[in-house]
Amino acid sequence: MQSLEGKTALITGGSRGIGLATAKELAKEGVRLGLIGRSEEHLASAEKELKDIGATIVTAAADVADENAAHKAVKTVEQELGGIDILINNAGIAIRGTFAEIPADDWRRGFDVNVMGIVHVTQAALPGMIERNRGDIINISSMSGLKGTKGSSAYSATKFAVIGMSEGLMQEVRPHNIRVSVLTPSLVETDLTRGDAQRDPEKYTQAEDLAEFMVSQLKLEQRTFVKTAAIWATNPF
């Protein structure tokens, strides 16, 4: 397996949950970290936590749905840490409710963050990867991107779009030795999903589980990669 030491990773939604857990795992491998998040407070907390374990880190507060802000954040990371070798598009929001009751503005916001957020950040980071003829992009979709369920029409629509977009991008950038993976986890215990008193959180996939998986796939030799991965809790019932 290849070493990740000395590489630079950019993680969106990097201040909490899956993003922060992944940052911690990458830091253990000697990866320099760029984190993008909306909350300056959460980013500051994450920065302190990661520096305490010896990580080299740069943070940039931005809403990835805003194209200019997203591009500016990517440029900040590149200026401070150099070219981005690993991009993990993790930022996302939940959209809950029946098809008839979800306001159009919520649909738009869902697509702006969950889909266009990936577009904005990836379009900013991709030219450098192409120039260096190497890179890794991991897009976080969801099991809801494979199967729609009652109450998930808007969220599923965004996550289905992530899968289709990732597939097309993967085919385009393979000649540049850039690997594009898409993950479709089922329920992961994070701030976004926490709160169901009837559910035992310890039985569900944890953010750390997903982080460890991503690091292991990034360490595969560059000649091969995991295109898609569906990640489930073993026995949540």
Domain enclosing residue 133, as ranges: 8-229
Q: What is the mean pLDDT, run by run of 10 residues, along the chain of 237 residues?
A: 97 96 98 97 97 97 98 98 97 95 97 98 98 98 95 97 98 98 91 62 90 98 96 89
Q: Enumerate the active-site residues.
A: 155
Asked if residue 235 is part of any domain, the answer here is no
Asked if residue 234 is part of any domain, the answer here is no
Asked if residue 193 is part of any domain, the answer here is yes
Specify the CATH number for the domain of residue 153: 3.40.50.720
Cβ pair 61, 40 in contact under 8 A: yes
Q: How many domains does the chain have?
A: 1
Asked if residue 2 is part of any domain, the answer here is no
- Full-model pTM: 0.95
Q: What pLDDT was estimated at residue 189?
A: 83
Residues linked to residue 33 through DSSP beta bridges, in sequence order: 9, 57
Asked if residue 203 is part of any domain, the answer here is yes
